[in-house]
């Protein structure tokens, strides 16, 4: 049973519903919504165009930076190879001989913790070690030209004569089979 049927709550008088008058829609408000939608669409299209332009610019910049990175990596490889070649013991001996230096067979060492000098200090005339004072094993290194700066020869490409290859044997030789114990 409900509270209304039990008589606890007083029944409210019923009022009749009156229809509400429709709002006055002028033709000005009817054209505003499509104009707002068209304006939003135009702004979205312009924003998309600007965004695509920026993406294309950055893609072009990325491509140029990648090619620059490849050129610098090749240059670094050449410089590293040149440095490695110039720091070999043979190259250092050659350059020392070019400066008039000779090998010292009477080495003198300094012991760092104690500060003691070991060995004998003698003058070197240059003919004590004939193997070292002989002609150098290698000459001065040639300066490599980086690939980006290397001249490209425009030589015509000639066709090489084709050598005839004898036909292969129809049956290949069988490999010997090892016996298993």
> What is each CA distance from 12 to 4, 43, 82, 94, 135, in whole angstroms?
10, 56, 105, 119, 126
User: Which pLDDT score, from 0 to 100, does residue 22 have?
Assistant: 79
The residue ranges of every structural domain in the chain are: 31-118
Contact 125, 106 (CB under 8 A): no
Return the closest-CA partner of residue 57 out of 46, 49, 69, 45.
Answer: 49
- What's the residue count for the chain? 181
Bridge partners of 117, per DSSP, are 110
Residue with tokens 């000098």: 117
Which of 161, 107, 158 has the alpha carbon at shortest distance from 132? 107
| Cα 110 from chain centroid (whole Å) | 46
For residue 85, give every residue at least 6 positions away whose Cβ sits within 8 Å of its Cβ, in sequence order, or none: 91, 141
Residues 6+ apart with CB under 8 A from 117: 108, 109, 110, 111
pTM, 2 dp: 0.41
pLDDT at position 181 is: 47
Tokens of 2: 């409900």
Confidence at residue 177, expressed as pLDDT on a 0 to 100 scale: 52
Please list the rounded mean pLDDT of every run of 10 residues in the chain (181 residues).
63 77 70 89 97 96 96 96 91 86 82 89 76 49 51 46 48 51 47
């Amino acid at each position: 049973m409900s509270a209304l049927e039990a008589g606890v709550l007083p029944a409210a008088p019923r009022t009749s519903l009156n229809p509400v008058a429709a709002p006055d829609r002028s033709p000005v408000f009817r054209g505003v919504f499509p104009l707002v939608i068209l304006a939003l669409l135009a702004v979205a299209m312009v924003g998309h165009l600007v965004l695509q332009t920026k993406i294309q610019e950055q893609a072009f910049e990325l491509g140029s930076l990648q090619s620059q990175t490849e050129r610098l990596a090749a240059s670094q490889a050449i410089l590293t190879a040149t440095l490695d070649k110039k720091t070999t013991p043979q190259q250092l001996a050659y350059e020392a001989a070019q400066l008039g230096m000779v090998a010292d067979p009477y080495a003198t060492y300094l012991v760092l913790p104690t500060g003691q000098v070991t060995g004998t200090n003698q003058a070197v005339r240059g003919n004590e070690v004939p193997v070292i004072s002989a002609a150098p094993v290698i000459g001065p290194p040639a300066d490599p030209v980086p690939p980006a700066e290397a001249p490209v020869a425009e030589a015509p490409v000639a066709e090489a004569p084709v050598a005839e290859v004898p036909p292969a044997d129809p049956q290949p030789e069988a490999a010997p089979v090892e016996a298993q114990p």
